[in-house]
Amino acid sequence: MEVLEVKGLKKHIGNRQIIKNIDFSIKEGEIFGFLGPNGAGKTTTIRMLVGLIAPSSGNIKIAGHDIGAERERALSNVGAVVENPELYTYLSGRENLMQIARVRNIPKEDIEQIIEMVNLKERIDDKVKKYSLGMKQRLGLALALLAKPRLLILDEPTNGLDPSGILDFREIVKNVARKNGTAVFISSHMLSEVQQLCDTVAFINDGVIKSVESIEDGTIKNDTEIYTLITKDSSNTAEILKGCNAVTEVQQQENEFTIAIKHDSSHLVLKLLIENGIDVKEIFKKHQELEERYMELVEGGRRL
């Protein structure tokens, strides 16, 4: 089931169009990354998702409720950590959680489950002013999760965290998505984190979503796959590759070729080369890193 549906979303500020007709959706249990340079439209999109500003046109539905027509019902399904979480530093972690729990009538057992989930059990009764940045981020996440939201929105959640803090945060978010079926929207500039954490990534630039793509085992799933090929006969190899329908791009450096092949078609290319008497010394797939895809879509050039 789609927890978040965004269709035809636009936002004008004065005469400037910030968001230009974007569409995307997030399913239950899906971790969705939102990538783009500064000024691409990430923050404006988040502000619309959490109801801080209204779209100029288009629709945002959260758990089936339109944020324009059913604002309160829609936003009741959202938990968010945007920038630094607002915490009462003179209170303990538990007291911070209790402030929200009392207002929302959240039972004590639910609070204990959340404390366990974010790995704060040993320090939950300490004053927040004694917390590290990573612990404050985890407490902010706990506050966002108290009401068991269907959609969790995180804006640069690992900013300033050390490697250990990043690892902890990553595992917590994965557990939230897997165990609770929570849809997670993460806006981040840390490409490596998105690659290791997310199931899907949207690339946004200049208010336009350039592509929405799947990530599997830390690798972008794409229509084409990049291979390195080494042969003994470079001139004939180049001619055959350029005439092959399964090959979309060829780069050559002496007897080494970097080629883009249509998905699941590498066996056809290899068969064609062998049938034409080409001595293939080596062929292997290059797993496309998120950074490479980012450069291709946002910076405007593929780096084979």
pLDDT in tens, the chain (304 residues): 899 999 999 999 888 899 999 999 999 999 999 998 888 899 999 999 999 999 999 999 999 999 999 999 999 999 998 877 789 999 999 999 999 898 888 888 889 999 998 989 999 999 999 998 889 989 999 999 998 999 999 998 887 788 888 888 889 999 999 988 999 999 987 787 888 899 999 999 999 998 888 887 666 666 677 788 888 877 788 888 888 888 888 888 888 888 888 877 888 888 888 888 888 888 887 655 677 777 777 765 544 4
Which residues lie closer than 8 Å to 156 by C-beta, 6 or more apart?
83, 187, 188, 189
Q: Are residues 231 and 253 in the same domain?
A: yes
Whether 301 maps to a domain, the answer reads no
pTM: 0.77
Whether 253 maps to a domain, the answer reads yes
Q: Are residues 186 and 264 in the same domain?
A: no
Whether 229 maps to a domain, the answer reads yes
Which residues lie closer than 8 Å to 32 by C-beta, 6 or more apart?
24, 26, 183, 184, 185, 186, 198, 199, 200, 201, 202
Among the listed residues 175, 87, 83, the one whose alpha carbon sits nearest the alpha carbon of residue 131: 87
Whether 292 maps to a domain, the answer reads no
Domains of the chain: total: 2
Q: Are residues 88 and 232 in the same domain?
A: no
Which residues lie closer than 8 Å to 189 by C-beta, 6 or more apart?
35, 37, 38, 156
Q: Are residues 153 and 181 in the same domain?
A: yes
